[in-house]
Structure 1
Amino acid sequence: MKNLTTSTEDLIFDRAKRGLPVTIITGFLGSGKTTLLNQIIKNTENVKVAVLVNEFGDINIDSQLLVSIDEDMIELSNGCICCTINDGLVDAVYRVLERQDRIDYLVIETTGVADPLPIIITFVATELRDLTNLDAVLTVVDVETFTPDSFDSEAAFRQIAYGDIILLNKTDLVSEEKVKELENYIETVKAGARILRSQYGQVPLPLILDVGLSQPDTYLTEGDRDSKHLVNDGFVSVSFRSDRPFAVKKFQVFLQEKMSADVFRAKGILWFKESPRRHIFQLSGKRYDLKDEEWEGKPSNQLIFIGRSLNALELNQQLNNCLTR
Structure 2
Amino acid sequence: MSEKIPATVITGFLGAGKTSLIRHLIENSDGKKLALIINEFGDLGVDGELLKGCGNENCTEEDIVELANGCICCTVADDFLPTIQKILSREDRPDHIIVETSGLALPKPLVRAFGWPEVRTQVTVDGVVTVIDGPAYRDGLFAADPEAVQAQREADEMLDHDSPLEELFDDQLNCADMIILNKADLLDASEVASATEQLKGRLRPQVKMLETSHGKIDIRVLLGLGSAAEDDLASRPSVHDDADDHEHDDFESFVLDIGEVASPEFLVAKLQAAIATHDILRVKGFITVAGKDMRLVLQGVGSRLQHYFDRDWKDGETRISKLVIIGEHDMDQAAIAEMITA
Shorter-chain TM-score: what band? 0.7 to 0.9
CA shift at 1:80, angstroms? 1.0
Aligned to 2:196: 183
2:220 partner SS: helix
Q: How does 1:206-285 map to 2 (within 5 A)?
A: 206-219=220-233, 225-228=243-246, 230-231=248-249, 234-242=250-258, 244-248=259-263, 250-259=266-275, 260-285=277-302
Cα root mean square deviation, aligned: 2.2
The offset of 1:257, in angstroms, is 2.5
Give identity over the alignment, percent: 29
Q: 2:326 aligns with which of 306, 322, 325?
A: 306
- 1:317 maps to 338
* Change in CA separation of 1:258 and 1:215 when aligned onto 2, cut-off 3 Å: closer
Partner SS, residue 153 of structure 1: helix
Give me the whole-angstrom Cα distance separating, in 2, the residues matched to 1:114 and 1:279: 27
- CA–CA distance in 1 between the matches of 2:168 and 2:63? 29
Task: Tell me, in whole angstroms, the C-alpha distance in 2 between the residues paired with 1:194 and 1:250.
Answer: 42
Matched-pair contact (CA < 8 Å) for 2:176–2:207? yes
Tell me how far apart the structure 1 counterparts of residues 293 and 101 of structure 2 sit (CA, whole Å).
Answer: 33
C-alpha change, 1:245 and 1:145, in structure 2 (3 Å) is: same
CA distance in 2, matches of 1:163, 1:135: 11
Q: Contact 2:278/2:332 (CA < 8 Å) preserved in 1?
A: no
Question: Paired residue for 1:8?
Answer: none
Unaligned runs of 5+ in 1: 1-12
Secondary structure of 1:181's match? helix
Indicate whether 1:156 and 2:169 are aligned: yes
Write out aligned runs for 1:124-135 (5 A): 124-135=115-126
The letter for the 1-side match of 2:256 is: F
Instruction: Return the TM-score normalized by structure 2.
Output: 0.82
Provide the C-alpha distance between the structure 2 equivalents of 1:225 and 1:135, rounded to a whole number of angstroms.
26
Select the residue among 59, 82, 95 that pairs with 1:104. 95
Q: Select between 303-312 and 36-45 the one with higher mean Cα deviation.
A: 303-312
Aligned with 2:209 (options 183, 195, 198):
195
Q: Which runs of 5+ in 2 are unaligned?
A: 145-162
Specify whether residues 109 and 227 from structure 1 end up closer, same or farther in structure 2 by C-alpha distance, changes over 3 A only. Answer: farther
Q: Is 1:27 matched with 2:12?
A: yes
Distance 2:221 2:268 in 1: 40
Q: Judge conservation of contact 1:137–1:214 (CA < 8 Å) in 2.
A: no
Q: Are 2:274 and 2:336, in contact at CA under 8 Å, matched by a contact in 1?
A: no
- State how far apart, in whole Å, the 2-side matches of 1:118 and 1:80 are: 11
After superposition, the C-alpha distances for 1:68-106 in whole angstroms (9 at most, x for unaligned) are 451211222431111253221000001110011131110
SS at match of 2:90: coil
What letter matches 1:288 in structure 2? L
2:62 paired residue among 64, 71, 86:
71
* 1:6 aligned residue: none
Residues 131-165 of structure 1 show CA distances to partners (whole Å, capped at 9, x for unaligned) of: 21110000000110024339843112211111100
1:137 aligns with 2:137: no
Worse-superposed segment, 108-117 or 211-220? 211-220
* Partner in structure 2 of residue 120 of structure 1: 111
Residue matched to 2:308: 291
- The one-character-per-residue Cα deviations of 1:205-238 (angstroms, maximum 9, x if unpaired) are 111102213443331597764452513xx12112
Counterpart of 1:59 in structure 2 is 44
Q: Is the 8 A contact 1:124 1:216 kept in 2?
A: yes
TM-score by length of 1: 0.86
Instruction: Classify 1:279/1:130 alpha carbon distance in 2 versus 1 (closer, same or farther; 3 Å).
Output: same
In the alignment, is the contact (CA less than 8 A) between 1:28 and 1:140 conserved in 2? yes
Give the number of aligned pairs.
303
- Give distance in 2, aligned partners of 1:204 and 1:283: 26
Q: CA separation of 1:169/1:307 partners in 2, compared to 1, >3 Å: closer, same or farther?
A: same
